[in-house]
Amino acid sequence: MAEKHVKLLILGSGPAGYTAAIYAGRASLNPVIIAGMQLGGQITTTSFVENYPGFPEEIGGTELVGKMQEQAERFGAEIVYDTAVRVDFSKRPFSCTLDSGDVYTCDVMIIATGASARTLGAPGEDDLRGKGVSYCATCDGFFYRNKKVAVIGGGNAAVEEALYLSNLAQEVFLIHRRDSFRAEKIQQDRLFNNPKIKITRDTVVERFLGTPDGAGLTGLALKNVKTAETSELLIDGAFVAIGYLPNTDIFKGQLELDNAGFIVTEPGLPFTSVKGVFAAGDVQDARYQQVITAAAGGCRAAIEAEKYISLSE
């Protein structure tokens, strides 16, 4: 077990973490990034990105975040391929224990651990992720113009995804395991009055159909929870919209979290409930969860971290 002290420690290797490292590196803070379990974050599960400025042609999610990593390393960021399992903000310097047993202490920490989309856990889902199975209509909806898609869920997120996709797709099927929806009434009214959306109630997805190495997703195997009747729905894309889980377990009791587990920050700012600890990206953003907003958050966190360090020295 080794122990090392650094000025700035960044937890997370997605767009927020890498952008923070780019800005911090240019400020000569020599940031260290703890990569985490998913190198590159959620964007690596997206086949193509078309809405990130500067890339007029589509770019793979993994390729895009790879360029961010190269840029961060160019400015001196060090990447540690390990996972944070424990933090201590009760005393200074802050400390972070890694899965390997190594301990990093730091003057300032930026948390960019992201959030993970809730999955259904149905057979075929993991194999077809990014090959017809998506968790973000804003990210991937463009690829399904004039095609048939399904949205799975019954809350605000699912209804919003279905409404958004109705502007792109030929036909949208909304599949919900209950009879009633949890979305706000105004959203439900829009949903029920949209002729392009077909609603299937009391139904669950039993299997995602398709071939990962071939055509990708081709359909869904469905089951009615009341009648046990089974059926198949042929579609081109499926959007799972049952919410996100912020990766904040190790911060419980250390930072203020909201009811959903996201880190609470000041509106529009990266400040958390502990001075010297900043948060950026999906770990504190339950609303937008886009690559560009995560990168913007990383920028804000790094700028504030640099100011905090300058005032402390």
Look up residue 287 and give its two tokens.
């609303």
Catalytic site residue 136?
A: yes
Is the Cβ–Cβ distance between 120 and 152 less than 8 Å?
yes
Strands, sheet with 197-200, edge to edge from the N-terminal-most edge strand: 133-134, 237-240, 148-152, 171-175, 197-200
Is the Cβ–Cβ distance between 137 and 147 less than 8 Å?
no
Backbone torsions φ then ψ of 72, nearest 5 degrees: -65, -45
Catalytic site residue 140?
A: yes
Largest CA distance in the chain: 68
Is the Cβ–Cβ distance between 256 and 277 less than 8 Å?
no
Instruction: Tell me which H or E stretch contains 286.
Output: none
Selected catalytic residue, list 106, 107, 139, 285: 139
Q: Is 190 exposed, middle or buried (0-12, 13-18, 19+ CB in 10 A)?
A: middle
Look up residue 124 and give its two tokens.
């075929």
Selected catalytic residue, list 106, 107, 140, 282: 140
Selected catalytic residue, list 106, 107, 136, 282: 136
DSSP code at position 299 = H
Q: Name the residues annotated as catalytic.
A: 136, 139-140
